[in-house]
Copies of this chain bind each other. A is one copy, B any other.
Amino acid sequence: MKENLVRTSMLTEREKDTLSFITSYYTKERKAPLLTEIAQGLGIQSKGVVHRYVSALEDKRYIVRNPKTRGIELVDHPDIDVLPLLGRIAAGKPIEAIEDKSLINFAHLLGGANRYVLQVKGHSMIEEGIHNGDLVVIEHASTARSNQIIVALVDGEDATLKRIQFPKKNVVRLIPANKTMQAKEYSTDRVAIQGVLVGQVRIYD
């Protein structure tokens, strides 16, 4: 019953099920499942059975394992953090036909020292396309240029996301992007700039 010569990449039904579960778990959770989680997903009581399927998938080169707790790695699924930028939509062509494929790495674009993420609550920047629940990337800074969108702390109490302007010396104007709200002006010493908006991200389920 020892088969070191595995010529067949054919998977049995349950092996397919196992691989499928691992793949979907991976894309959803961004980590490998436990054996018991696979078992539950497949309706199997015994983790020993799952272990057999996982070992088969390893023999057939569909996965690699570390002897660790969530040690399954998909061989076709190494961490992909680069996406192809295919082109501009509404270009009048099928997407696949666009040739100029450059690669885009959001983490590289948005990551970096002195940056952090805040989740937006409310609708004060809705006309800028920044909606309730969106994630914004902020670069830590204490100064800003006019017309930048910044995180401002007013009187040490009021942290909001607003566009900033400097209409005259020692005066700061904070402008929401919402017609139902009004721009306000403060003396410079009342407004502390916390950071500058560098990116915005929304994730759809």
Contacts and interface: CB of A to CB of B under 8 A. Distances in A.
A137 interface: yes
A64 to B, nearest CB: 10
Contacts of A108: 30, 78-79, 81
Interface stretch (A36-44, A46-54, A99-107, A165-173): A99-107
B122 A129 contact: no
A130 B138 CA distance: 20
Interface string A133-161: 01111101000000011010100111111
Most buried by B among A158, A161, A198, A203: A203
Copies of this chain, tallied across the complex: 2
B203 A87 contact: no
A116 B203 contact: no
Contacts of A124: 90-91
Interface in A62-91: 66, 68-71, 74, 76-91
A113 interface: yes
A86 B12 contact: no
Contacts of A126: 129
Chain A's interface size range is 35 or more
B115 A89 contact: no
A10 B89 CA distance: 36
A94 B199 contact: no
Given A91-B122, A91-B160, A195-B95, A116 B79 contact: no
Most buried by B among A78, A80, A87, A106: A106
A183 interface: no
B135 A89 contact: no
Contact of A92 (B82, B157, B201, B203): B157
B121 A159 contact: no
Contacts of A109: 30, 201, 203
A202 B90 CA distance: 17
